[in-house]
Each structure stands twice: as C-alpha cells, then as structure tokens.
Structure 1
Amino acid sequence: MDESVSLPHAPGGTLTSDTIRGRRGRLDQEAVLQAAEALVDREGYDALTMTSLAAELEARVSSLYNHVANLEDLRALIQIRAMRMLGDHVRSAAMGHSGTEGLRALSNTLRAFARSHPHRYAALTRPPIDREGFYASALEAIEALAVMIRSAGLPEERMLQTAMALFASLHGFVSLEVAGYFGDLSGTKVDVDLDAVYTQVIDGAVTAAALESTH
C-alpha cells in the first residue's frame, strides 16, 4: 500500500515564472531567494550561480549583491530555507501521533518532501555552509523526531544515536529514489513495489529503535 503523503503548499515552495516576472521590478531579498529556489528546483543545486540567477531575474549580477553577500551566502540560505520548509512539514505530520506510529508518519513525510523537492532535499543533506543558521532552522524537525522517539520509550541518552540511525536508514532509500537509481520498473520483469520496500525500510528502522527501549 502506498503510504506516501502529499505536502501542503508552503511559502518558498514553487515559484512560477509569472511571479518572477512580477517581482523583477521590485527586487528584494525574498524575490532573489525565491528565484534561486525556482532555479534550483528546475536545474539543480549545483547549477545555482550568481550569473544563472541574474539571468533568471533578468537583472545585473551586481544588483544581486545588494541582497546576498555572495554565492556561498546564497547557497547557505537555500539550505536553511529548505530545512525550515521540511521542519514545517514534519511538525504538521507529527500532530496527533506518537511512538512508532509517529515515527512512520515522519518517515513518510521525509520521503514526500524529497520527491516533491528533490534538488532542495539534496541541498539540505549537503554539509551545512552556515552551521549555526542551519541547525537553528532544523530545530522543529529535530524536536518532532525527539518527541516521537521519547514516546516510543527510548531513554534520553540514546536519543541522538537513535535519531541519526533512523535518518541514515531512511535517507539511504530516499536519496537513491530521487536520484533515479531504481529507475522505472513499470513494464519490466522486475516485480518490485517501491512503496512496499520503503515501508520495509521504515519498519526495520522503527523496530530497531523500539528494541533499543527494551535494553
């Protein structure tokens, strides 16, 4: 059964070309960042340069420096905003859940975010450029995960280790899926349900976490 979830629209989500054109006459940092996100969504995180962004906005490269310090600062802000966006989705998914049920809900939300925004997901799983800002933006996601782990009965001293192990398991599948590693299995002799595979990954990770609570 497909346990994937759809994600609600969030500020900084998908920016249309019409919106970009409407912002060109009133360039500000938010317009620059939303245009950068639109470019990343379309071309990928590594394709983001000051030159490509200026072309996206039909502006001069020099005018962008009124709103961001440099390319590294721009990429750091993309990471931070992507992490904050994921945190918003995770917080919403956590509402009304607890324990292993909550861990499964968060796991499905992570996959849904990665599938909806593969390039932003790739950006936020790179080494943080602005570590302080990035980890501050991750607090909502971290706290939601911590609540689920606590409610599953794990001791506080195992919290970080369990969270890291759970994310590593899920990220392994999700990153392969969004990178196209599994390809299109429809119409082939390979009869594999990727939703079922992901459920198995979740069950394995959650079961391992639950077992930790008994030791």
Structure 2
Amino acid sequence: MLRAAEALVDRDGYDALTMTSLAAELEARVSSLYNHVANLEDLRALIQVRAMRLLGEHVRSAAMGHAGTAGLRALSHALRAFARSHPQRYAALTRPPIDREAFYAAALDAIEALAVMVRSAGLPDDRLLQSAMALFASLHGFVSLEVAGYFGDLSGTSAEVLDLDRVYEQVIDGAVTAASVEATR
C-alpha cells in the first residue's frame, strides 16, 4: 500500500494524495485502507519518513570516502540528484514533519553526513548547526526551484545559453565558501 501511495505521489504530487485516490489506484475500498493506516495524515507522515530515510541513504553514500569541501560537494550533488529523481517526495519531505519524532529519526543519516562534512571542512561544533542549516538552505533553494520547474526552458533567453549545472556549481561554491569563511571566524 505504501509503495502505491509513493507511486501516486510521484505521479500526481503530494497534495493530490487522498485515501480515495489511493483506493482507486489499488482497486480497493477506501475503508480497507484504514486497516493499514489511521488516516490520511498518518499515510502522509509515512511517506515523509520514507522519503527522508531514502535521501539520507543517498547523501550518506555519496559522502563516504570524502572530506572537507570535496565531501560537501559530493553531498550537494546527491541532494540534487535525489530531488530530481523524486521531485514530489522531495517536496513532501521539505514540508513541516507530520510525525516529528519518526521524521527526525529517519533524518539521522542525512544530518550526520552533513555534520561530518561540515566538521571536516573545519567548522567547530559550536557553529555546526548554524552552518549546516545555511548550507542546506542554499542548496534547497536552488533545488526546489529547479524541480518545481521555475527555471523552465531558459535557453535562448539571452545571448548565452543558461547551463543550470553551472548555476548549481556556483550555488555550491557560494555555500562552501560561506562555510569556509565561518570556520575562520
């Protein structure tokens, strides 16, 4: 049932998920879904938790074997790749968590990978949370706009063709530079 709900979210969006739409997808009665989840919010919480766990696996795996700015770059690219592969689930996991306890438990891989990379870039523990949040906010801003289609097809809008990969590299450069500057304060 949960995989079907994720497929529905991937196809139609997080906000389009209803118990009725899921029942139709499963060719089941709505009432039978309540044998598995208490309500729609419970189902959405499970989707958020699973998406966060999957993101954590991606960034942890990408960060392995890296340190410092190279690790931050690897983690940044993993975040973007995840969001591009699962744009609707990424949007779901960046909303306020429904089940905070389960969500934050699922986020431990992502949080730890980011913390290790920020520490290895030279940031002291007393500025770790602040720097990690600033880094994530920068990356998330670009990634969210990209997967929402905000940039659209910008090629041909000027004499030079806009290369979103290069723009993202510039966002990463800015975020990593800011983290490095913070480390020297």
- Partner in structure 2 of residue 40 of structure 1: 9
CA RMSD of aligned residues (A): 0.9
Structure-2 separation of matches of 1:170 and 1:79: 19
**Separation in 2 of the partners of 1:94 and 1:202?**
15
Aligned to 1:146: 115
Secondary structure in 2 aligned to 1:129?
Answer: coil
Q: What amino acid is the match of 2:144?
A: S
Q: Measure the CA separation in 2 of the matches of 1:100 and 1:198.
A: 15
Query: Could you tell me how far apart the structure 1 residues matched to 2:60 and 2:161 are?
Result: 35
> Would the aligned equivalents of 2:4 and 2:22 in 1 still touch at CA under 8 Å?
yes
Which residue number in structure 2 is paired with residue 205 of structure 1? Answer: 175
Correspondent of 1:82 among 34, 44, 51: 51
Structure 1: which 5+ residue stretches go unaligned? 1-31
Structure 1's consecutive aligned runs of 4 or more residues displaced over 4 angstroms after TM superposition are none
Alpha-carbon offset, residue 187 of structure 1? 4.6
Cα displacement (A) at 1:213:
1.0
Matched, 1:136 2:105: yes
Which piece of structure 1 moves more, 69-78 or 183-192?
183-192
Counterpart residue number, 1:56: 25
Q: Distance in 1 between matches of 2:38 and 2:29?
A: 15
- What is the aligned counterpart of 2:164 among 181, 194, 198? 194
Deviation of the 1:185 alpha carbon: 2.4
Question: What TM-score do you get using the length of structure 1 for normalisation?
Answer: 0.84
Check if 1:183 corresponds to 2:152: yes
Greater fraction helix? 2
Q: CA–CA distance in 2 between the matches of 1:185 and 1:149?
A: 33
Letter in 2 for 1:164: M
CA distance in 2, matches of 1:202, 1:132: 30
- State the Cα distance separating 1:212 from its structure 2 match: 1.0
Equivalent positions of 1:86-165 (< 5 A) are 86-165=55-134
1:15-26 equivalences in 2 (<5 Å): none
How many pairs does the alignment contain? 184
Identity, % of aligned positions:
84
Preserved CA contact (<8 Å) 2:23 2:29 = yes
Secondary structure at the counterpart of residue 114 of structure 1: helix
